[in-house]
Structure 1
Amino acid sequence: MAFNLSVTFPFDHIQQPEEYTTMAAVHECAKAVEEAGFYSGTVTDHPVPSYRWLDGGGHYAQDPFVMLSMVAAVTTTLRVQTNIIVLPYRNPFITARAVSSLDHFSNGRVILGMGAGYLKPEFKALGVDFDNRNDIMDDHIKAMKLAWTGEDFAYEGIGYTAVGNRVLPTPAQKPHPPLLIGGNSKRALRRTVELGDAWHPFIVPKMVTDTARTAAISGDDDIVGSIEYMKEHCEKVGRATPPQVICSSTFVIKQGFSAQEALDGYQSLRELGVDASGASIEAATRAEWCDLARQFGEEVISKLD
C-alpha cells in the first residue's frame, strides 16, 4: 500500500498577504501540490482565536470549507483535508452539510480530520461549553453519520433536536469521507476505535502539548503504545479491523532539506505501524513554496512506494 503524504497549505500566513492570501496563491499552491504528487492538501480551523494565543505563537486560520472548496475547484485528483476542524464549534448538521456538498462537488475528495479543541477563549467566544467538549464531539460524529445516510432521521443531541430531517445530496464517498480523529489522549484513541476511520496524532514534545492541553506523543514508544491501546479497545468493542494511523506533518521542507532524511523518517514511521504522514513547507515567497513542493515531489514522493 502506498505511503500517502499530505502537505499544509500556507493560506494562514496573513503577514504576507500578497504572497499567501490571494486567489492567485490558492491556484498556484494547489496546482503545485497536485503536480508534486501529494495525496492531500490541508487547512486548519480557528474561527476566532484569542489575541493572547496569537501573540504567544499561535496562528490565524481561514474558513476551512471555503478554502478547500477553492482548492478543489482548481485541482482534479488532490484530496482536500481538514487538519483539523474543531468539531464542537459548529452545529453538526452545518458541518455535515458542508462536508456533503464539498465531497459531492469534488467527486469524493474530502478527508475530514477533526478534534475536540483546546482553546478555551475560542470556545467561550463561540458559546460552546469547553468542559463538555469531548461529549459534544462524540455526539456530533453520531449526528453527522445519520445526516450522511440521506435518509430521514431523528436525533436528540446535546443542545439541539432533529425531529425528522433529511440532507441531500449525500457525500460521494460511502458511507462518508474518511473520519480522521485527532487527539493524543486515551479518550481520543477510544473515540477513534468507536467512531472513526483513522487516528490522526499530534506528534509533538510535551512542552508543546502542555499549552494545547493534550497528551504528549513525541517518540516511538508513545506511538506504539497508542496503537496497541487501540487494538486492545478494538477487541473490547468488537471492531474487526483496527483504525489506520495517519500522522499530520512530521517533516519540514525548507531550503537545503535532506531528501534522505525525509525518506528515512517516513520509513521509520511505517515500521511502527503508521499508514500515512505529512509535511509542511517553510518559504519566504509563494514561488519558493511551490518550487520546494515540486522538489520534494521529485526527490521524496516519487521514491515512496
Structure 2
Amino acid sequence: MKLNVPLPFDQIEPADEFTTMAAVREVGQVIEKAGFNAGLVTDHPCPTGRWLDSGGHYAQGPFVMLSLLGAVTTKLRLQTGILVLPYRNPFTVARDVATLDRFSNGRVTVSVGVGYLKGEYKALGVDFEQRADLMDEYLRAMRLALTGQEFTFEGTGYTALGNRIQPGPVQQPVPLYVGGNAKRAIRRAVELADAWNPFFTAPGIDTTSRTATMTGVDDLAAGITYMREYCESFGREKMPEVVLGSIFAPGETRSTQKYFDRIGQYQELGVSAAGVLIEGRTRAEWCDNAQRLGEDVISKL
C-alpha cells in the first residue's frame, strides 16, 4: 500500500520554518527519499478569520505549491488533498492541471471536494447551496478539457463551443479523486472519478456541515460495501480505488506496530493508499520524523 503525506506549508508559525523555498526544497527531497508516494496540499483561498481563529488553518495556492514541489523532486506525485472544485471555473482548473502535469512529466493527481465554508463561498461569489451540483458538472467539464482535444460543453453560466487546451497533460487520463464520506460523494466517485478519497472524523464531532461521520475501520468498510453495491447498480465493472485521507483517526495513538496492523486491515479492504500525518514544530523536527517513518515503516512494506 502506498503512503501519502500532507505537506506542512500551511504552518505559518514559527515564521520562515515552512514558508520559504528552502523549506519546499528540504521537505520535498526528504519525503521523496523516504519513499512517500505523494505530497498533498489543501485548499482555502479566502477563509474567514472566525474559522481560522477557531482551529482552521491557512493554505497557499495549491497549484503554486505543487509546482514548486515538482521543481525540487523527480518521482513524487503532486496531489491536491483536496481542491474545492466549485470555487473555480473548471476550465481554469484544467489549464493549471494540464500545465503542471506536462512540466512535471505526468505526476499530478487531483482530488476534489465540495467544501463546507459558507463564508469562503460567499467571498468567492459562488452559491453555497449549489455546490454539490456544480461539483458534478465541473468534473464532467474537466474531463473533457483535459483530453487535449477540442471540446464543447454547456455549463452553468459558461459555454465552450469548440475550445481547446494544449499542450494537454502527459497522463491520459489525469487521475481524478472524489473526497468526502457522504453517500453522494461515493456515488460521485463511481460515476465520475477514478478513486474515492474518504477521511476519518473525530468521534463525537458534528460534521453535518462538512461530510458524513467516519470514525474508524467499520465505517470505512461500510462505505466500501456501499460503493461496491452502487457500482453494480450503475454498471461500473471496476470499482474506483480507495485512497484514505489518513491511516489513523484524529486522537489515535500511534506506534510502528500499529502502522503495520492498520495497513494490513486496509489492504484486506482494498485500500490502495493512505495519508500519514507527520508532526513537527520546526522544519528539522518534521523532516526527522518523516525520515524515521520512511525507515521504520515504508522501507518494510
Q: TM-score, normalised by structure 1?
A: 0.94
Matched, 1:220 2:228: no
The offset of 1:220, in angstroms, is 2.2
Partner AA of 2:193 in structure 1: G
Three-state SS of the structure 2 residue aligned to 1:81 is strand
Alignment correspondent of 1:72? 70
Matched, 1:236 2:233: yes
1:1-305 equivalences in 2 (<5 Å): 3-175=1-173, 177-210=174-207, 212-251=209-248, 258-304=255-301
Q: Distance between the aligned counterparts of 2:188 and 2:289, measured in 1?
A: 36
Contact 1:114 1:180 in 2 (8 A): yes
Deviation readout 1:112-159 (Å, 9 max, x if unpaired):
111011001000000001001000000001001111112211111012
Q: Distance between the aligned counterparts of 2:162 and 2:101, measured in 1?
A: 24
- The alignment's C-alpha RMSD in Å is 1.5
Three-state SS of the structure 1 residue aligned to 2:207 is helix
Q: Which runs of 5+ in 2 are unaligned?
A: none
Q: Distance between the aligned counterparts of 2:224 and 2:72, measured in 1?
A: 37
The offset of 1:251, in angstroms, is 4.1
Partner AA of 2:34 in structure 1: A
Deviation readout 1:5-63 (Å, 9 max, x if unpaired):
00011100012221110010000000000010000010000000011111110000000
Deviation readout 1:168-224 (Å, 9 max, x if unpaired):
11111112x211110111110000000011100021135445264310011222111
Contact 1:153 1:166 in 2 (8 A): yes
The list of structure 1 runs, each at least 4 consecutive aligned residues, that deviate by more than 4 angstroms after superposition, is none
- CA separation of 1:276/1:210 partners in 2, compared to 1, >3 Å: closer, same or farther? same
Q: Give the length in aligned residue pairs.
A: 298
Q: Distance between the aligned counterparts of 2:119 and 2:37, measured in 1?
A: 34
Contact 1:54 1:60 in 2 (8 A): yes
Three-state SS of the structure 1 residue aligned to 2:189 is helix
Q: Distance between the aligned counterparts of 1:244 and 1:108, measured in 2?
A: 19
Contact 2:152 2:162 in 1 (8 A): yes
Q: Distance between the aligned counterparts of 2:148 and 2:8, measured in 1?
A: 35
Partner AA of 2:42 in structure 1: T
Contact 1:12 1:62 in 2 (8 A): yes
Contact 1:8 1:249 in 2 (8 A): no
Q: Which runs of 5+ in 1 are unaligned?
A: none
Partner AA of 2:133 in structure 1: D
Partner AA of 1:132 in structure 2: Q
Partner AA of 2:111 in structure 1: G
Partner AA of 1:183 in structure 2: G
The offset of 1:249, in angstroms, is 2.1
| 292-301 or 227-236, larger mean C-alpha shift | 227-236
Partner AA of 1:48 in structure 2: C
Partner AA of 1:90 in structure 2: R
Q: Distance between the aligned counterparts of 1:134 and 1:59, measured in 2?
A: 23
